[in-house]
Amino acid sequence: MNKLMEIRHCRKQFGYAEVLTDLSLSVTEGQVLSIIGPSGSGKSTLLRCATLLETMDGGDLIYLGNYAARDVNGKAVYSSPEELRKIRGMFGLVFQNFNLFPHYSVLKNIMEAPMLVQKRKEKEVREEALALLEQMGLSDKADAYPWQLSGGQQQRVSIARALALNPKILFFDEPTSALDPELTGEILRVIRKLAEKKMTMVIVTHEMAFARDVSDWVVFMNNGVIVEEGDPREVIDHPTHERTIQFLRRLQEK
């Protein structure tokens, strides 16, 4: 299978605290990968390194054979800005708190990047944006502003905004954590639909049932390392590692 994204021997420190330790992870085309683990284990940091919001201290970061960063004597050396710009076009990121642009209408939130960054024609982008909104069940909200939407609707707009750039891989950092339980379902449904369409996705989540259901690979992180990974039914239902067992038991008790 084609490796879409690969991180090798990633190291990341904040001050003296090592947050990611020699972490390696790869995602193949069409794969849905879930990352689970306790708070502070470095899940967000890993996603931020993968999406170039944070620079790794050491390691390789590769998208479809293109090096965003290459390890040279234990230090991550990043590629040229042009190369990074090209690589940025390959992935999208959905934030926990949406980060929609409040001064733009829903439609403009979705349309601006494809027109500005990818220099695509307005007509074509508009058609695609409207189709995405329909897919998200938000056809009637095209002209609304973010503050007029519920959290779940805002998150669906932010997913549409990411999809409008036609990324090859989509990262989600706890996409439902800022939402009420009733609204969580609507986001999970959208992600499930994307999975059916073979969208490649990496999802950090605390929703175990969802992770088991939708993903075909799950990674359990603790203290900046991958402790256990594998088929979701195996890892979630029959964890072998002490730390994983503890974490899952504590989740169940809640």
Partner 1 sequence: MTIWTMITKMSEGLGRTCAIFFLTLLFSLPLGMLVAMLRMSRNRVVSAVTKVYIAVLRGTPLMLQLLAVTYGPFYLFGSGVAREKLIPVVIAFSLNYAAYFAEIYRGGIESMSRGQYEAAEVLGYSRIQCFMRIILPQVIKRILPSVTNEVVTLVKDTSMAFTVAYQEMFTIGKQIANSQTSFLPFVIAGVFYFVFNAVVGFIMGRAEKRLSYYR
Ligand X SMILES: Nc1ncnc2c1ncn2[C@@H]1O[C@H](COP(=O)(O)OP(=O)(O)OP(=O)(O)O)[C@@H](O)[C@H]1O
Q: Which of 56, 93, 142, 183 binds partner 1 (CB under 8 A)?
A: 93
d(CA 211, CA 47): 17
CB of 179 to ligand X, least distance (A): 15
d(CA 36, CA 190): 20
Does residue 42 touch ligand X according to CB under 6 A? Answer: yes
Angle of helix 122-135 relative to helix 151-163, nearest 10 degrees, comes to: 140
Does residue 151 touch partner 1 according to CB under 8 A? Answer: no
Chain centre distance of CA 121? 27
d(CA 29, CA 64): 10
Site string for ligand X, 6-25 (x = CB under 6 A): --------x----x------
**Nearest CB to ligand X, comparing residues 149 and 221:** 221
Q: Which of 4, 25, 33, 43 binds ligand X (CB under 6 A)?
A: 43
Q: Which of 31, 34, 44, 158 binds Mg ion (CB under 5 A)?
A: 44
**Nearest CB to partner 1, comparing residues 162 and 195:** 162
Stretch that binds partner 1, among 68-76, 85-93, 120-128, 131-139 (CB under 8 A): 85-93
Does residue 155 touch Mg ion according to CB under 5 A? Answer: no
Stretch that binds ligand X, among 38-46, 55-63, 85-93, 141-149 (CB under 6 A): 38-46
* Cα atoms in the Cβ-side hemisphere of radius 13 Å centred on 223: 3
Give the sign of the dihedral formed by CA 41, CA 46, CA 47, CA 49: positive
Structural contact between residues 155 and 77, judged by C-beta atoms closer than 8 angstroms: no
| Residue 84 interaction partner, one of ligand X, partner 1, Mg ion, none, beta carbon < 5-8 Å per kind | none
CB of 193 to ligand X, least distance (A): 25
Burial class of 145 by CB neighbour count within 10 A (0 to 12, 13 to 18, 19+):
middle
Q: Which of 34, 45, 153, 222 binds ligand X (CB under 6 A)?
A: 45
d(CA 94, CA 171): 6
Stretch that binds ligand X, among 42-50, 78-86, 122-130, 182-190 (CB under 6 A): 42-50
Tell me which residues touch Mg ion (CB under 5 A): 44
Tell me which residues touch ligand X (CB under 6 A): 14, 19, 37, 39-45
